[in-house]
Amino acid sequence: MTKLPVRVRFAPSPTGPLHAGGVRTALYNYLFARQQGGQMLLRIEDTDQTRFVPGAEAYILEALEWLGITIDEGPQTGGPHAPYRQSERKEMYREYAERLVNEGKAYYAFDTAEELDAMRKRLEAAKVAAVQYNAITRQEMTNSLTITAEETKARLESGEPYVIRMKIMPKEDIRFNDLIRGWVVVHSSQIDDKVLLKSDGMPTYHLANIVDDHLMGITHVIRGEEWLPSAPLHVLLYRYLGWENTMPKFAHLPLLLKPDGNGKLSKRDADLGGFPIFPLQWTDPVTGDIAKGFREEGYSPEATTNFLALLGWNAGTEQELFNMEQLIEAFSFERVHKAGARFDIQKANWFNQQYLKLQDDASIVAQLKPLYAAEGILVTDEQLIQIVHLLKDRVHFVKEIVKESLFLFSAPVEYDQDVVIKKWNEEAVRAITGFKDSLVAFDGNFVADQIKAALSASMEAQGVKMGKIMQALRLAVTGAGAGPDLMVIMEILGKEEVINRLTISLDRLPAQIHLA
């Protein structure tokens, strides 16, 4: 048997923004396709018109693009199996449903909503365990198996609403080997006679999904664990349609769990925790509610991708940082876990920090410019580079650099009171006054190491240990008791501004004198 070229698909329904689990599904599909030299297609599964949300498809495309997940075929890209939106393929599915009816593997059902409801109540009252339309219950319902062929024909011709149901044969074993979960075995008595074609003429998800995967030559179905219960039905559909030989392999990915590991991750967890679970920000078109996005919160696409890739997979080594190329190389189904993956936003922050450190200065400067402009702060490229050097290793996000650097643009108004009480003593005031005077006379190059030399000379001349006044000096320059390298801060501020700040602080903080 020749090996088919790998073809995978990402098949979201446009019912809202794509959440982290969906993005991870897309990512694993992409990694596998690229690793195998295969193709990945995007198929929009929009047969449930009641759940259609405007803007969702555009959102999905934008999210994939932002993350660097490129697709080979899809609604925008086109391809040999177009159209890639199921609603535009509506007419194709009926043929297969009708073929199954003609072969005795499916049937027309004319039951009204009230009749179905009555059946449900009857079964519940009789305490039947599986309340469903199946080999037993179908015998009491109105379908082409219980009424005559003439009556069926007459009903169809009169335009009476109907659905096509799959005729699940009892006593069949359904088994398939999931690439992640191993053998899955289910008995057909556990499956109900699923609707394949709805009364509006649209296929259900099950029919459309199987027909399309077959027609589009899909070799591997990689999707979330929530679809595992549907997989046996899908295997049966392949069997009934005579496509078992080319049935794709299945890989069901682990669930994403709440940050504490208890239960499935939900949007509510994100709202409560104040963190994003969507790649991009999403505004609900009906309620106007805004859901946070990784992009808008300041995560880089590289960090987001790396974080998502490690939710449920690892390389089996200590390595955690993987760019897309490395992920493509390292990915394997054997190393995808069966157990759910905890969604730990701290880890995402850590990844963002790692990628921030790897970015070159010019790229960070470019991202910072509009942020400073938005704060109404004028800053030169040269200053920006200095600021980046000062703060890059201390933050998780580019936008934090702005916040953390605000003290550079105005002299302190408030002072950390703990430090004032502990460190702003007579000795410090005297020593800092001495240092300020020495700066007035300073005519060297006002750069960090020279400033440090000047400071140490001044302290030595005054007989004060530098370590004893450093926090007080920082307080006088910045208002805070801790922060990045003070010598570099003074270099960025420049001599005049340092003298100015020391004068102001010595003036504002005279009274808090405590004995050394």
By CB under 6 A, name the binding residues for ligand GLU: 11-13, 45, 205, 209, 223, 227
Contacts of 141 (CB under 8 A, 6+ apart): 109, 111, 115, 119, 133
Task: State the distance between the two ends of the chain, measured CA to CA, in whole angstroms.
Answer: 87
Q: Are 472 and 419 in contact (CB under 8 A)?
A: yes
Of the two residues 14 and 412, which places its CB atom closer to ligand GLU in the complex? 14
Q: Which residues are annotated as catalytic?
A: 267
Q: Residues 64, 66, 67, 71: is their CA dihedral positive or negative?
A: positive
Of the two residues 227 and 407, which places its CB atom closer to ligand GLU in the complex? 227
Q: Coil, helix or strand for 213?
A: helix
User: For residue 218, which of 33, 24, 37, 27 has the smallest C-alpha distance?
Assistant: 33
Of the two residues 227 and 397, which places its CB atom closer to ligand GLU in the complex? 227
Q: How far is the CB of 316 from ligand GLU (least distance, A)?
A: 27
Q: How far is the CB of 205 from ligand GLU (least distance, A)?
A: 6
Q: How far is the CB of 423 from ligand GLU (least distance, A)?
A: 59
CA 350 to chain centre: 15
Of the two residues 209 and 349, which places its CB atom closer to ligand GLU in the complex? 209
Q: How far is the CB of 210 from ligand GLU (least distance, A)?
A: 9
Distances (CA, A) of 395 to 162, 302, 366, 378, 404: 61, 17, 17, 22, 8
- Phi and psi at residue 122, to the nearest 5°: -60, -45
Q: Are 197 and 94 in contact (CB under 8 A)?
A: yes
Q: How far is the CB of 355 from ligand GLU (least distance, A)?
A: 29
Residue count (the chain) = 516
Of the two residues 12 and 74, which places its CB atom closer to ligand GLU in the complex? 12
Pairing mode of beta strands 195-197, 182-187: unpaired
